[in-house]
Structure formats: C-alpha cells, structure tokens
Amino acid sequence: MRRCAAALFGQRARLRWVHLILGGALFMPYWLVGTVVLGVFLDSPGMFAGSLTVQFGAYAVGLPLAAVTALFPLARPMSVAVARALCGVAADRFADGPARGRDAKARTAGWFVLHVGAGALVSGASLALPPFAVSVMALPFSSALRESELGRYWGLDRAWWVWAALPAGLLMLLALAAGAAAAGALLAGLAPRLLGPSPADRLVAAERRAAEAESRNRLARELHDSVGHALSAVTLQAGAARRVLGTGDPADLDFVREALTAIEETTRRTVGELDWVLGLLRQGEEAVGAAPGPGPGLDALDALVRGAGPRVALTVNGALDPVPEALSREAYRIVQEGLTNAARHAGGTPVTVRLDARTEELEITMENPLPERPPVARPHGGRGLRGIGERARLVGGTAEAGPVDGVWRLAVRIPR
C-alpha cells in the first residue's frame, strides 16, 4: 500500500507531474496556432470553439510544429536541464551541449514531441477532471445537482445508487494520479535513450577526458620532477655538509658554504616552479590544454648541476641556444629527473651528464657507477623513469635506461 501511495503521490511522482505540466505549458503556443489553422479551413470560431474535434485537431496540428522547432541545436540543452531536475534520472545519463548530427536532432525532436504531447493531455486532464470529480462526489449531498438537467437525464434525482457517485469521483482522481504517474515514468524511462549521448557525444567526452588526464599527468610530472629533485638535492647537500662539519677540520668550511649556497639556490628555484604549477592547479578547467608555461630550460642547466653537488660533471657539445623552447624545457626536466634518480639510488657516486647538440638530434646521456648494494625498492615503485619516457615521447624522442658495463646509463634522443 505504501509503495502504491509513493508511486502515485510521492516526491518523485510530484516532480514528474510538474515536468508534464511544463510540457503542457510549452505546447500552448503550438495548440493556439493549430486552432487558428483549423479555424481557417473549418470556418469555426477557432480557439473559442467547444467542439472536441477542433480541440484535438489543433492538438494534432501542433505536434509536428513542435517537432520542427525541436530540431534547433539549443533544444536539447533546455530539455536536458528540465529533465535532469524533474524526471528522477541520473544526471550522467544525459548528453551535454547542443544536439549535433541528424540522429541527435531526431532523438531530441522525438523527446520534445513526447514531452509536450503527454504534458498537454495530463495538463488538460488536471484542469478538467478534478472539478468534475468533485461535482460527482457532491451529488448525494446536493439536491440542486441531482435535479439539474444532467441529473434528471441519468435518473439521479430519485435513484438510490446516487451514493455510488462518491467512490466514482474518488476513482476518477485516482485514475488521474495513476495516468500522470504512468506518463511521468514513461518519460523518465525514455529520457536516457532520447536525450542520452550519441556516439559523437561520447567521442567528444572521451577527448575531453583524455585532455584533462593529460593535463593532470603533465602537472603531476612537473611537481614530481621539480619538488622531487629539490628534496633529493637538498638532502644530499645537507648530509654532506653534516658529515664534513663532523670532522672538525676548518679547511672544509668552504665545502660547507658551497653546500649551503646550493641548498639556497635549489629551494629558491623550486619555490618559483612550485608557484607556477600551483597556479595552474588553481585555474581548474582553464588549465586543461594550457601551454606548458615559462618553466626552466637548458639555460638553467648550470645552476641545476651546481645544486646537485660537486660530484656531478656536465659536458656540453654544440650550442644549446638554437634548441626550441619546448624541447629545451623537456630536456631540462629529463636531466633534473635523472639527477634525482642518481641521488636517490646511488647517492654520493660521481655522475656524468653529457649533452650533444651537434646533430639533428639532441642526445642526453647520464651515467653513474652502480652501487655496491642494490637500492631499496619503494613500496609502489618509482615514477622517475616512467616520467622521463613520457617526456621524451611527448617531443617525439626515445629514452633508454639500464645497467651497461658496471654503470647505470640513461640515454635520451630527441629530434630537434
């Protein structure tokens, strides 16, 4: 009993009834045009005619007119907005944006005709049936109604079964509620099919999700490379300074000063890079597809190597100035991540960095001796080499890393 009552009079049923009433209101201009058209051909007073033939004829004329207007692209966003709020269907089952393509427009037109057509019938019944049902239920209590022309015609003025008007009127109201609930449930069931995404819409949504994922991955790489390198370099320099101070040799104070200077430069540079990345994150959707921004390039390579410690040797063959800006930024990040990996997994060992820009490819080679003990594996694996490979592929290059003749070698080739 509760289920039946909720299905007929619950919040969802009431919202769907409001949805149908809105459809009936939207249908009024089309119905008025239909009455005018029929008035011309039938020589009738048009909208003021009481004939059911004219009323339903205008209804039949108005439906095709509604279908034509629903072919415009903006009809779908309006229909989706109303259906999302009132039909009780999950929001993600609707399509977003204007209808594009013949199939999407046809489905939108079908939905609009169904909405306004069913809404017009339910609205008309909601206006006409309740007063009539109340009048029927009042028959046993009103002699004037029983003695009216209609009451005498049906013999209600002196029939004992006049009391049957009470349940008859209640059944009329229940029938109206059931009809409205059934029409609302029908629209809710058809909404995902008619207003749902088409294959073209799914493709656009997939491309948008891919762009968002790429943007997030790019920002994650920037944070990983910048902050990860800074923490590794600062840890390495601070540890070396602490060990030197522990010896008590005044001659080593110069090394400590250099280590502290490197820590200062590294943290200052990283704070600037972090501000830029966080600025992109604050932009939200505007950051999707945004340009990489003024990140550091190969011109900042010397400062990067100085901050990595005295055991890093840099060799550059050829001029780096002609390297394109986007490629220069990615190459800087690749070297930065390579130094971070060396500091994390083989801290304290000499690292050689070679850049060769004399050919059509920019070659980056980084080598460090393999540690005596294998590095401790991180619980979920590292992302450094994966990020280097992603950056290299992003600019059409390749990246290889692994042990070669007792050293760990990272070799990256990027076309210029």
Domain boundaries, the chain: 2-197, 204-415
Q: What pLDDT is stored for residue 153 in this prediction?
A: 57
Residue 408's nearest CA partner among 388, 378, 379, 380 is: 388
Q: What is the pLDDT of residues 87-104, one digit of tens each?
A: 989 888 898 888 888 888
HSE-CB at 29 with a 13 A cutoff on CA atoms is: 5
Q: What pLDDT is stored for residue 363 in this prediction?
A: 94
Query: Long-range contacts: 75-78, Cβ < 8 Å, 24+?
Result: 75/99, 75/108, 75/109, 75/112, 76/104, 76/108, 76/195
Which value, to the nearest 10 degrees, does the dihedral of the CA atoms of residues 132, 137, 140, 145 take? -10
Q: Which helix (DSSP H) or strand (DSSP E) does residue 400 occupy?
A: strand 398-404
| Cα angle, residue 215 at apex, residues 298 and 200 outer, rounded to 5° | 135
Q: What distances in angstroms separate CA 323 from CA 165, 195, 316, 329, 331, one per listed residue?
A: 92, 50, 13, 10, 10
3-class SS of residue 156: coil
Structure tokens at 68: 């034509």
Return phi, psi of residue 382, to 5°: -90, 165
Q: What pLDDT is stored for residue 359 in this prediction?
A: 86
Q: What pLDDT is stored for residue 186 in this prediction?
A: 94
Instruction: Tell how strand 351-356 and strand 312-317 pair up.
Output: parallel
With respect to CATH, is domain 204-415 assigned 3.40.50.10860? Answer: no
Q: What distances in angstroms separate CA 415 from CA 6, 358, 363, one per listed residue?
A: 68, 12, 9
Q: What pLDDT is stored for residue 377 in this prediction?
A: 45
Q: What distances in angstroms separate CA 70 from CA 100, 201, 244, one per listed residue?
A: 12, 18, 79
Q: How many CB atoms lie within 10 A of CB 205?
A: 14
Please give the Cα distance from 414 to 329 (Å, whole number): 12
Instruction: Tell how strand 361-369 and strand 407-415 pair up.
Output: antiparallel
**Full DSSP string of 353-385:** EEEE-SSSEEEEEEEEEPPSSPPPPPTT---HH
Q: What pLDDT is stored for residue 154 in this prediction?
A: 60
Q: How many CB atoms lie within 10 A of CB 267?
A: 16
Low-confidence ranges of the chain (pLDDT < 50): 285-292, 376-381
236, burial (CB in 10 Å: exposed 0-12, middle 13-18, buried 19+): buried
